[in-house]
Amino acid sequence: MGRTSLLQTNTVTYQELVGNGRTFRVPPYQRDYSWTRDQWEDLWNDIVDIQGDPDQRHYMGAIVVKAESDRVVHVIDGQQRLATLAILTLAAIGQLESGQDDSDEVMRNRERARALRSRYIGEKDPASLTEVSKFEMNASDNGLFQDYLVQLRRPASLGALTHSNRLLYDCFTFFAERLADLAEQGADGATIAALVSEVVARRLLFILITVDDEVSAYTVFETLNARGLELTTTDLLKNYLCSRIRTDSDLTAVQRRWQRLVATIRHEMVPEFLRYHYLTLDRKVRSARLFKRIRTDVTNAAGVLQLLDRLEARAPLFEALGDASHGYWADYPGAAQYVRELALFGARQMTPLLFAADERLTPAEFVKVLKLVVALTFRFTVVCRRNTNDLEPVYHDAARGVLEGSAQTARQVFDLLRPMYVGDAQFRAAFSQLSLPTSGPRRKVTRYIVCRLESDRSGRIVDWETDPSSIEHILPENPIDAWYGVVPQTKWADWAGRLGNLVLLERSLNRDADRLSFVDKQLLYARSAYASARELGGAGFTDWSDAQIERRQETLAATACRLWRSDFADP
């Protein structure tokens, strides 16, 4: 089949979408109904807004389907919208059928209700007289939808409904109440019917995307911008895996295992988790090609189960890497401090290596690898600010070395990572020029660095997250007249943020120091409990110029070389 046949797009009205005799079937493994009152209200308000203007249209986004036959299509993306519009139509039918007498208007409304059912919901089976729906939901929701909503029956016990089933019924109740309000305001049966047959059916527009396989669906998925809670990348991956299962018992087991996996690492993190898993296998795995890779590797039930085995084994570590207090680290003495630092740096590229090290190395060697990665990340990313994309292939090589047995210790891992380890000369030069923000997203990194330097100077632990100090700008960010001539005004903005101009200070002393002259600040620094501040308050400093800032920062850079050095690097 040629590539051009894999994807067909067309802009259609709701009537063209569902009024052509096709059945829309949601695969049993897709997510349950999840829209809530916020989405229902948005949809209702959109419909009411365009009701009075026959020239106005409303775009509902893309619907992605895969044709099973000429009459049946599988809904890959869009089930929430289709289900909600079907329920709105059923609520309108219920309103039209609510009359109790045999008046001409009641009879006409019943005829309108039958017409809406036939065109938008389905037809009654001649033998059983039950409704055969144009829309079939997933395994969890289809029973409630077909047996109660389509038949306009109320479940015997609302409290016994599952969460998604209750959302479906609440959705029906929401639209039934809105339509009843319209009737009380004077809307007759013709108006209620026209709300569906004219406004919903003819003025709600969709982009219908028909694909031949799941790969095509994944390719177009990233470009979709449909309303509401639509299918996510994680859902699509799950759907593909479930589609490889052939028996109900295996499908139930896979769904249960996938649910546990997602609960462990969080729904939105699954694509990233999968990519790092595959980076232990391949040197370069792009997010856009991830689904195609999985489809190539996983073609049957055995492949699904094998992949789940690997993912379940690695999921606890992946989750714990984002939480230094996680119970996972109880078996890794000393690991938590390094995990906390990596989380602060926002570093994730080392994950494939950590997967491998956790599986092959002893706990003590694993902790040494964590410490190594902290030093490498701080030098490469935080201070030298090099391109983090360059790290992934090197971390892959290190992961393969660990998994294949050529790297059995942290020292041997360092040898594989050496190309990305910034040497002391380059690191010291970059650190000597470092400017750091004290507000915004990176302020915690600034505080971390200043606290580590203070800990080394004072000989006591000063924790960047719990210590009550604040960061003092020796040259104020907004100097007063006393600073004119000390540091050229043209350099104020540049030099105020330099690391050499920052010091820890008690909050009360910091408030008092504010924009004082350096001589006046020294009196406050001398009273500080922080060694670096007391040093500045001593007789060794008589003024504070840009030259002083530069000299102090060069001294701090020498200290940083020692503090953030790998144990395996040459001194």
Q: Which residues of 155-165 are buried (b: 16+ CB within 10 A; e: fewer)?
A: beeeeebeebb
Residue 454, token pair as written in the block? 């203070």
Which two structure tokens, joined as six digits, stand for 452?
A: 């580590």
Question: DSSP letters along 412-479, please?
Answer: HHHHHHGGGPPPHHHHHHHHHT-B--SSSTTHHHHHHHHHHHHHHHHSS---TTT---EEEESS-SS-
Phi, psi of 500 (to 5 degrees): -65, -15
Those residues with Cβ within 8 angstroms of residue 346's Cβ, 6 or more apart along the chain or in another chain:
none
pLDDT (tens digit, 0 to 9) for every residue of the chain, 571 residues total?
A: 333 444 566 788 999 888 777 889 988 767 889 999 999 999 999 999 888 888 888 888 888 888 888 788 888 888 999 999 999 999 999 999 987 777 889 999 999 999 999 899 987 666 666 666 889 998 889 999 999 999 999 998 898 899 999 999 999 999 999 999 999 999 999 999 999 999 999 999 888 888 776 555 555 554 443 333 344 567 767 777 887 888 878 888 888 898 899 889 888 888 899 999 999 998 888 776 777 788 888 989 999 999 999 999 999 999 999 999 999 999 999 999 999 999 999 999 999 999 999 999 999 999 999 999 999 999 999 999 999 989 999 999 999 999 999 999 999 999 999 999 999 999 999 999 999 888 888 999 999 999 999 999 999 999 999 999 999 999 888 877 777 777 777 777 788 889 999 999 999 999 998 878 899 999 999 999 999 999 999 878 888 888 899 999 999 999 999 999 999 998 7
Q: How far is CA 525 from the centre of its chain?
A: 45
Distance CA 407, CA 426 (A): 27
Q: d(Cα 49, Cα 40) in Å, to the nearest integer?
A: 14
Predicted local confidence at residue 571, as pLDDT: 73
- Tokens of residue 265, six digits: 């690492």
CA-CA distance, 34 to 424, in Å (whole number)? Answer: 54
The two tokens of residue 320 are 């714990």
Sign of the alpha-carbon dihedral angle for 230, 234, 240, 242: negative
pLDDT at 54: 83
pLDDT of residue 197: 93
Q: What is the Cα–Cα distance from 113 to 116, expressed in whole angstroms?
A: 5
63 touches 8 (CB < 8 A): no
Within 8 A by CB and 6+ apart from 32, the residues are 138, 140, 141, 162, 163, 164
The predicted pLDDT at position 230 comes to 43
Q: Which two tokens stand for residue 81?
A: 């919208």
The count of other CB atoms within 10 Å of the CB of residue 278 is: 18
> Chain centroid to CA 335: how far?
26
Q: Would you state the pLDDT for residue 283?
A: 85
Q: Cα 122 vs. chain centroid, distance in angstroms?
A: 38
What pLDDT is recorded for position 196? 94
What pLDDT does residue 271 have? 87
Q: pTM of whole model > 0.75? A: no
Q: Exposed/middle/buried for 327, CB within 10 Å: 0-12, 13-18, 19+?
A: exposed
Distance CA 124, CA 121 (A): 10
